[in-house]
Amino acid sequence: MARRQVLLLSSSNVHGFSYLEYAANDIKEFLKKHNVQEVLFIPYALKDHDLYLKKVKDVFTSWGLQMTGIHESKNPVESVKSAKSVFVGGGNTFLLLKSLYDNKLVDLIRSRVMNEGMLYIGTSAGTNVSTKSIHTTNDMPIVYPPSFDALNLVPFNINPHYVDPEPDSKHKGETREERIMQYLETDHAKVVLGLREGSTLLIDGDKAVLKGLKNARIFVKGAEPQEVEVGTDLSYLLKDEENSSESCPK
């Protein structure tokens, strides 16, 4: 069985950097390590697929890489079957997941990543759909996918664009941390990884490490949230969720 290879970005846009610039080295090294030069882009999280493809393709082309859009093919299933890598862009998570279901790609992408070694790169919504479910997305449900269950490339949830409470803010609504803690009160919730802007999770088989520019925050049911520094080994998160709280470092 091939080893799972997944690179998950919190966002494509980070303050002080051009589009995807902060993660450029990680993306290029990820593809180079596996001798992949061609990437299949999945733009389903936004409505204008052609415009979205051009934006991302211009960046990948500047890196010396080739990119095609899945929407350019008459048969999305065959495109994924023959792809060596996919890049799933951000936008609206509900629209993205519904489109994946509509095109019969959810089980196929999971199988190709988990069993055949197809590389998966996701950012924002593309990171959300790579996880157990999209329950911890920040997006509005502008459409309704048949299920909130996602690709399940990792056995936990992620909250991209995680933001910390601002002590001086006059906003009195729930903080992101409070919303995640509310989610953890549900029976099916166990673990949420909050990726701040500039955070990246690299998964190589049964190994996971936090990369990028910013620390992350881990929420485990029944435990206090924890800060995680860049470079931390997060492989324990890939174990069964029932064991996550026992495996989680104190």
The catalytic site residues sit at 124, 139, 161
**d(Cα 117, Cα 199) in Å, to the nearest integer?**
23
User: CA-CA-CA-CA torsion for 37, 14, 25, 122, nearest 10 degrees?
Assistant: -40
Q: Which of 42, 161, 11 is nearest to 106 (CA)?
A: 42
- Nearest CA to 56 out of 44, 69, 45, 71 is that of 69
Give the C-alpha separation, 220 to 237, whole Å: 10
Contact between 11 and 159 (Cβ < 8 Å): no
- H or E element that contains 24: helix 24-33
Give the integer Cα–Cα distance in Å for 134 and 66. 30
Q: Which of 150, 227, 113 lies closest to 139 in space, CA to CA?
A: 150
- Strands 38-42 and 157-162, sheet pairing: unpaired
